Amino acid sequence: MIAGDTHANWVSDLVWLDHSPYDPATGAGSIGVEFGGTAVSSPSPAGQNISIAASVNASAWLVGANSELQWSELYYRGYFELHITQADVQAKYFGMPTIVNRNPGEISLANFTVLNGENRLQRFNGTVVPAPVENGYVKFGQVRQTNITNSTDTGAYYISNEPVEDL
């Protein structure tokens, strides 16, 4: 499933809560996967000009309060790509270091995979794959904030130090 209009990035197993058992560590009981993404120009649902630290805290609360929610990221504006093959579906999330000014910067935020015939995110040893993610909060994974940014016009990588993501 593809979702939008939440102004946030997130990935969730789809489950029938209180109807069928569900194990968030393995994905057993999931009936599908839902990918939600923000837009480049929409403000964060946690408030305009939220800090990265506050966004991580809000994401951790959301993931903790929702057993099926596997990743939440509320800071970056951006998009995601779905790469669909017969073997799997891969979701690749990207965020802009800032939308205050026009720039070619793009940060790889997270990648997730659903294997053909599976109704859940791919996991190895109870971990959502791949880990780590750049920002937000991921259940059973790691967050590693690097600010490694790709300049999409030149292909050069740099460390973004933008003080404000959105106005």
Contact 10, 69 (CB under 8 A): yes
Query: How many domains does the chain fold into?
Result: 1
Q: How many CB atoms lie within 10 A of CB 101?
A: 7
**Residue 167 included in any domain:** no
- Check residue 106 and give its pLDDT: 95
The per-residue pLDDT for range 99-155, each reduced to its tens digit, is: 888 889 999 999 999 999 999 998 765 566 556 899 999 998 889 999 999 999 999
CA 91 vs CA 12, 35, 83, 98, 150: distances in Å: 12, 8, 6, 22, 18
Determine which helix (DSSP H) or strand (DSSP E) holds 3, and give its type and residue range.
Answer: strand 2-3
CATH number reported for the structural domain that contains residue 124 in this entry: 3.60.21.70
Share of the chain above pLDDT 70, in %: 95
**Residue 34 included in any domain:** yes
**Structural domain of residue 151, as residue ranges?**
2-159
